[in-house]
């Protein structure tokens, strides 16, 4: 009985010890990428976003298409999934920092394009001094089609990290031309009556 109790105590200590290395409420441990599209106005064609990642996240590179309403359509990388009106990917950390570029290569004929970039993370270990800090390297917003560069932490630095890149395509309002056809009115005037004088013969 004493051996069983001792074994149970050792197991409990081991489990508690492991628990000390995982922050409570950490959730998904890894990298999450989100790409969305917002369409302002009326579009007549879809659009395309190219994701180009370096090592070790090179397997996350993909071509992501959206329909004319901004909904996710097709991809050449099945690791990306449709979720909440956009594309989402979950991946493990790499053993070194990595950068992904997000660029809209087809706008569907938009008059203008803009973008926003957000980056969130839960720190695990103290992040060492780096010349370039991870996050949205090109800023939080801008105009044009990109590329929008995001630098990701490596596995020993954070519990999880999420990037959200949103492209907004604006289309000019469609001008409707109204043509009014006027039918001419024809007025017919009756000829004036001619009064004839009687002719008398003797």
* Domain assignments of the chain as residue spans, ordered by start: 33-170
pLDDT category of residue 158 using cuts at 50, 70 and 90: confident
Confidence (pLDDT) at 4: 39
How does the average pLDDT of the chain come out, rounded? 80
Tokens 């957000």, located at residue: 118
Average pLDDT score over residue span 12-22: 35
pLDDT at residue 144 greater than cutoff 80: yes
Distance CA 66, CA 99 (A): 23
Going 106 to 52 to 40 to 141, the CA torsion angle's sign is negative
Average pLDDT score over residue span 150-156: 90
State what percent of residues in the chain have pLDDT above 70: 67
pLDDT in tens, 116-126: 999 999 876 55
Residue 141, preceding peptide bond in cis (omega within 30° of 0)? no
Cα→Cα distances 110→42, 105, 141, 144, 145, Å: 9, 12, 18, 11, 11
Strand arrangement of the beta sheet that strand 62-66 belongs to: 72-75, 62-66, 47-53, 98-106, 148-152, 135-136
Confidence (pLDDT) at 1: 43
In 3D space, the residue among 46, 32, 39 whose CA is nearest the CA of residue 79 turns out to be: 32
The pTM of this model reads: 0.72
Classified as helix, coil or strand, 123 is: strand
Distance CA 170, CA 107 (A): 9
Q: What is the DSSP letter of 73?
A: E
Burial grade of 86 (CB within 10 A; 0-12, 13-18, 19 or more): buried
Going 155 to 158 to 159 to 160, the CA torsion angle's sign is negative
Average pLDDT score over residue span 88-107: 94
Alpha carbons within 13 angstroms on the beta-carbon side of residue 39 total: 22
């Amino acid at each position: 009985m004493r051996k069983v109790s001792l074994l149970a105590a050792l197991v409990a200590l081991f489990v508690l010890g492991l628990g000390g290395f995982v922050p409570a409420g950490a959730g998904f441990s890894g990298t999450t990428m989100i790409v969305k599209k917002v369409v302002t106005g009326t579009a007549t064609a879809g659009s395309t976003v190219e994701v180009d990642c370096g090592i070790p996240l090179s397997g996350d590179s993909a071509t992501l298409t959206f329909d004319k309403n901004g909904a996710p359509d097709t991809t050449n990388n099945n690791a990306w999934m449709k979720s909440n009106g956009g594309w989402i990917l979950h991946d493990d950390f790499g053993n070194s920092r990595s950068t992904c570029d997000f660029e809209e290569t087809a706008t569907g004929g938009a008059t203008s394009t803009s973008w926003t970039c957000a980056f969130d993370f839960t720190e695990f270990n103290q992040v060492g001094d780096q010349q370039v800090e991870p996050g949205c390297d090109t800023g939080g917003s801008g105009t044009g089609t990109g590329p929008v560069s995001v630098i990701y932490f490596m596995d020993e630095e954070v519990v999880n990290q999420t990037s959200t890149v949103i492209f907004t395509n604006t289309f000019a309002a469609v001008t409707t031309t109204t043509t009014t056809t006027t039918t001419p009115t024809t007025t017919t005037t009756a000829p004036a009556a001619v009064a004839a004088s009687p002719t008398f013969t003797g």
